[in-house]
Structure 1
Amino acid sequence: MQGSHPAAASSGELILAGDLGGTKTLLALARTEAPSVPVLERRYESREYPDFLPLLQDFLQEAGHPRIGAAVLAAAGPVSEGRCALTYLPWRLDAQALARVTGIARLEIVNDFAATARGVVQLPESAFATLQTGQPQDQAPRVVLGAGTGLGVAALLPEPTGMWRVLAGEGGHIGFAPRAEQEFALARFLQARHGRATAERVLSGPGLVAVYEFLNESEGKGDEGLAGGADAAAAVARRGLEDARSLSRRALDLFVGVYGAFAGDLALLFMARGGVYLAGGIAPKVLPRLRHGPFVEAFHAKAEHAGLMNGFPIHVVLEERVGLLGAAAIAAESCRV
């Protein structure tokens, strides 16, 4: 929902939430009483702006430069001491500098998957598609991962108060763990291209394209008419869903198998009996192959620990705005402190 002008909301302190990614940036204004209900929300193409500040100024100008009590910006990159260099954009964020320019006294920058994890616990059941029911435990850790422009990872750890503590990092950049000869060959292909083969080099939009290019190089049976550039991943995914005999289908299934293996590793790492949640832009778009491809089989294939894997619930997050909703929830909480 795009929302109305901020003046239409009559009560509660105004908060600003942002989800800043390599492809798109979402910004919203909401009230502390209803942080999930925006009074103004906009989507921007991130690469159309040389830096974040001009984008933010455009948004605030449209909003009429309202008084904002708190802001939380979820950024796709490592965050340290209020600063973040986005991984796939030339943007450099500094919370103190942005606070000075905008006049927002309480402005915080968080990792995008910290906000995504926080958003997951806000969502209704209808916002998920279940791949495996498992035996969910309410007060057990949960893990959230998601392939999009990059690969994000965060965990949710239960607190005695009933709240959740979010543990976010750069888990997408851990090493890629091949399971069979084809994946070992893929790892060598990525190693030669990048100097290091990471999980994100496979499990992302650019990673899906790299998998396709690897198969095309090794098999020489490329599909005709695939778009290049930013649309290449979408083209591979679309053709892979539509044509079971295409190279794109083999690339998509290789991608999905690696996704399942990686998700299973994270489930074991955190013993995520509360659930494994697939967020990010790719999972909802390839849901049929997540359901009927090799994802669950790869998730289960854990040798002596295979017997544990049936117990982990697995859900796909269908709500594109989950990171924005999480950032809004964090901002609303900061106003109540």
Structure 2
Amino acid sequence: MLDGFKMNGFTVKQFQKPEYYKDFTSYVLGVDVGGTNTNIAIAGIKNQKPVLLFSLNFKSQEITSINYAIDESLKYTKNTQNIDVNYGCIGAAGVVSKNNNFATLTNVPWNIDCKDIIKKTSISEIFVVNDFQIIGYGINHLDSSNQNDLIKIKKSKTINDCHLTKAIIGAGTGLGKCILSYDEELKSYVPLPSEGGSVDLPIYNDLEYEMMRYIQKKYKHTFPVTYEQVLSGVGLCNIYDFLKKSDRYKYKNIISVNTADDISKYKSQDDCCHETFEIFIRFYARSIKNFILDTMALGGVYIAGGIAMKNLDLFNSEMFKDEIENTFQMGELLRNVPIFLISNYDVSLLGACFAANNKKKN
């Protein structure tokens, strides 16, 4: 990746040298909408595969609609490189319509209307899909031997890939999951959506039961507590608040923390933060274990999200790996499933461009 530079209202990041931009048969646009950043990439297509050329970064809370960001990106591409882009795909966290032309977003003050985008910009066709499905498309372009793409947490002892089912899981603002199934016609993995973050939390002991009851009271309901209420940024705060208020432990080092980032920052210095992450990592491992068994994801599990990257030591720990294999009958199967941590920050842009090109081909 090359150095980026700032323009009015956005920052440009270059992946390739400009003289390389003309070496492609066609071009697509890929969008990754997050609560903080909206990144829009232009990719060139060569041998039916997208190559990221450059991306434009907009601050999600500072723009009033996705239309503006896409229009600016298309104008920049045309004015600086004389490249026309007609097809695009948007990945976004939120509720996506069945026909993939509208999304109600969860963390930004605007929504995505693809018909309106086509009407108000120069793009001919664009659609929107769930953010974890976009990561699923991006997995097709990651190299397991390159640590800038994937960090191997657990190796497979006997299983060869052979287009086996795979799975993605990631704790961040919420808990996302998706299943990857190999498509023989496309010669690539295709993501299937999941609402696995809303699955009931598995409780093993008295402490976890007390924590479950605490979360129910905090949210003033009696419904089962879900994975997402523990495996997310908010979930980390739920665990921490429970432990801090619990009479079971008297912590010696209690630093005032207010966010999930604080809990992560002080986990080596503060006893309560440390135990928060121990509980968090055990539930994370259980979620992965159950997801593997539910989907027979023998081809591997890919962990996404900033929490994992910031706490790599815990995901490399024996405690994490042992918890994944902690099962009555399926220990041998679970021991053979490889687990990776996604380290390529641009996986969503790769996925969006890949999906846009697939749509263009069809």
Contact 1:6–1:63 (CA<8 Å) still a contact in 2? no
Q: What SS does structure 2 have at the residue aligned with 1:90?
A: coil
Distance 1:64 1:102 in 2: 12
Distance 1:79 1:6 in 2: 35
Pairing 1:132–2:143 present: no
Deviation at 1:234, TM superposition (A): 1.6
| C-alpha spacing 1:184/1:49, structure 2 compared with 1 (3 Å) | farther
Distance 2:62 2:21 in 1: 30
Deviation at 1:124, TM superposition (A): 1.1
Q: What SS does structure 1 have at the residue aligned with 2:229?
A: coil
- Equivalent residue letter for 1:306: G
Could you give the per-residue CA deviations for residues 135-169 of structure 1, whole angstroms, max 9, x where no partner exists?
33322100011111221111111234443232113
Decide which moves more: 152-161 or 137-146: 152-161
| C-alpha spacing 1:55/1:237, structure 2 compared with 1 (3 Å) | same
The structure richer in strand per residue is 2
Could you give the per-residue CA deviations for residues 71-103 of structure 1, whole angstroms, max 9, x where no partner exists?
000111232222211233333212212221113
Contact 2:136–2:189 (CA<8 Å) still a contact in 1? no
Distance 1:91 1:169 in 2: 24
| C-alpha spacing 1:303/1:32, structure 2 compared with 1 (3 Å) | same
- Equivalent residue letter for 2:254: D
Pairing 1:95–2:114 present: yes
Deviation at 1:60, TM superposition (A): 3.9
| C-alpha spacing 1:199/1:29, structure 2 compared with 1 (3 Å) | same
Distance 2:214 2:18 in 1: 51
Aligned to 1:13: 26
Pairing 1:47–2:61 present: yes
Pairing 1:78–2:78 present: no
Unaligned runs of at least 5 residues, structure 2: 2-12
Aligned to 1:69: 86
Deviation at 1:304, TM superposition (A): 2.7
Distance 2:314 2:46 in 1: 39
Pairing 1:209–2:237 present: yes
Distance 2:43 2:275 in 1: 44
Deviation at 1:331, TM superposition (A): 1.2
Deviation at 1:253, TM superposition (A): 1.3
Q: What SS does structure 2 have at the residue aligned with 1:19?
A: strand
Deviation at 1:287, TM superposition (A): 0.8
- Equivalent residue letter for 1:92: N
Decide which moves more: 263-272 or 217-226: 217-226
Aligned to 2:261: 234
Normalising by structure 2, what TM-score?
0.83
Q: 165, 169, 172: which is aligned to 2:197?
A: 172
Write the mapping of 1:277-292 to structure 2, written as runs, cut at 5 A: 277-292=302-317
Write the mapping of 1:132-151 to structure 2, written as runs, cut at 5 A: 132-134=154-156, 135-138=158-161, 139-151=163-175
Normalising by structure 1, what TM-score?
0.89
Deviation at 1:269, TM superposition (A): 0.8
Deviation at 1:7, TM superposition (A): 8.9
Aligned to 1:198: 226
Aligned to 2:295: 270
Distance 1:51 1:186 in 2: 40
Q: 351, 354, 362: which is aligned to 1:326?
A: 351
Contact 1:6–1:40 (CA<8 Å) still a contact in 2? no
| C-alpha spacing 1:5/1:91, structure 2 compared with 1 (3 Å) | farther
Aligned to 1:29: 42
Deviation at 1:122, TM superposition (A): 0.9
Q: What SS does structure 2 have at the residue aligned with 1:294?
A: helix
Distance 2:18 2:216 in 1: 50
Percent of aligned pairs with the same amino acid: 26
Distance 2:281 2:307 in 1: 10
Q: What SS does structure 2 have at the residue aligned with 1:304?
A: coil
Q: What SS does structure 2 have at the residue aligned with 1:179?
A: coil
Decide which moves more: 266-275 or 327-336: 327-336
| C-alpha spacing 1:293/1:188, structure 2 compared with 1 (3 Å) | farther
Alignment: residue pair count = 331
Distance 2:105 2:199 in 1: 18
Distance 2:215 2:70 in 1: 36
Contact 1:5–1:63 (CA<8 Å) still a contact in 2? no
Aligned to 1:259: 284
Distance 1:42 1:183 in 2: 44
Aligned to 1:117: 136
Q: What SS does structure 1 have at the residue aligned with 2:94?
A: coil
Q: Rg larger in 1 or in 2?
A: 2
